[in-house]
């Protein structure tokens, strides 16, 4: 059967397509509600990568050090959820693991060994997300402590030759964030995204990670430009959270401007702030509107994350 769309002359003129399937390479699924998870599937999500960012938030432990068992419980819960989300919502779910950029852990050697074991699991595809963030320094962890905590985990990724997700900070709006942003005393004045991302990337370089193993995440125009010009790492744009102020049309224009070779697009959706579960499929539609060809769009939203995370999908 000929399914091409015919113009008056009878020649194929337009591929109307439909929903373009995508991989969301950074989405915090553990606290998303049913409707958000269902909407993502309806919007065309074929697979997702769920990273561990802040165990302190997940298990509501705001001060003091963790036991390794606290972190292992978080990791096991993520894997348990991944299996159930696949059966319920019909998309593949992978995870990236870390113990966070600001977590002091009593028996951290146990986590080193455990991370190596977990990474052998088919679902665990990366270490992360990790990165310096002035909004996330707690009263018990200084920036220097945070650098050491990040370096330790990136070294494990280096030894095991797995990809890493590098977090970069963003300006947080108290209007759309339940607890409001909190900058500790002595923190730099905004903007600090690019300067902080550079410091985090320098840690990755110090531990000897290959640039192609690294994605510099939550990038804006300035950070995309810096990363593409000065590194061989991937960069990712995150937009579902409303306070980021990155509209789908804006992300589409950056993809058009910088090309598809090393760019990924993700939601970085959470449920504790205002966010749009359909931000990523809306961005795909805006990519069409700026005139990007379907193979280019597929490269950005499917092939690049599949290759970077070495997904089995």
Give the shortest CB-22-to-Zn ion separation in angstroms.
17
The count of residues in the chain is 313
Residue 20 or 137 having the CB closest to Zn ion: 137
- Distance from C-alpha of 164 to C-alpha of 154, rounded to nearest angstrom: 7
Nearest to 63 by CA among 150, 137, 163: 137
Contacts of 64 (CB under 8 A, 6+ apart): 104, 140
Count CA within 13 A, CB hemisphere, residue 270. 17
Give the shortest CB-33-to-Zn ion separation in angstroms.
18
Residue 213 or 266 having the CB closest to Zn ion: 266
Give the shortest CB-218-to-Zn ion separation in angstroms.
7
Residues that bind Zn ion (CB under 5 A): 53, 268
| Cβ burial, residue 188 (10 Å; 0-12/13-18/19+) | exposed
Residue 20 or 85 having the CB closest to Zn ion: 85
Residue 129 or 286 having the CB closest to Zn ion: 129
Alpha helices, H only, the chain: 34-42, 55-58, 68-89, 108-118, 143-160, 193-206, 221-230, 248-258, 279-289, 294-298, 304-308
Residue 70 or 268 having the CB closest to Zn ion: 268
């Amino acid at each position: 059967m000929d399914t091409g769309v015919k113009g008056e002359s009878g020649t194929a003129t337009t591929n109307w397509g439909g929903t373009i399937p995508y991989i969301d390479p950074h989405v915090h699924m553990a606290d998303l509600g049913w409707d958000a998870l269902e909407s993502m599937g309806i919007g065309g999500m074929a697979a997702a990568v769920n990273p561990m960012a802040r165990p302190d938030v997940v298990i509501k432990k705001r001060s003091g050090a963790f036991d390794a068992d606290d972190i292992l419980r978080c990791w096991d819960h993520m894997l348990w959820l991944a299996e159930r989300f696949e059966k319920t919502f019909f998309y593949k779910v992978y995870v990236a693991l870390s113990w966070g950029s600001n977590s002091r852990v009593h028996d951290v050697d146990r986590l080193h060994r455990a991370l190596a074991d977990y990474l052998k699991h088919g679902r665990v595809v990366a270490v992360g997300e990790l990165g310096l963030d002035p909004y996330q320094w707690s009263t018990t962890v200084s920036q220097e402590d945070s650098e050491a905590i990040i370096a330790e985990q990136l070294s494990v990724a280096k030894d095991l030759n797995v990809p890493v997700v590098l977090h970069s900070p963003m300006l947080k709006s108290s209007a759309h964030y339940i607890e409001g942003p909190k900058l500790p005393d002595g923190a730099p004045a905004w903007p600090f995204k690019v300067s902080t991302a550079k410091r985090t990337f320098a840690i990755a370089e110090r531990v000897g990670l290959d640039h192609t193993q690294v994605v510099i995440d939550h990038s804006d125009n300035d950070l995309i430009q810096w990363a593409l010009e000065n590194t061989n790492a991937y960069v990712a744009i995150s937009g579902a959270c409303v306070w980021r102020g990155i509209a789908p049309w804006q992300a589409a224009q950056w993809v058009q401007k910088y090309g598809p070779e090393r760019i990924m697009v993700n939601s970085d959706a959470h449920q504790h702030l205002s966010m749009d579960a359909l931000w990523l499929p809306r961005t795909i539609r805006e990519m069409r509107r700026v005139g990007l060809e379907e193979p280019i769009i597929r490269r950005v939203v499917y092939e690049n994350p599949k290759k970077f995370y070495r997904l089995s999908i």
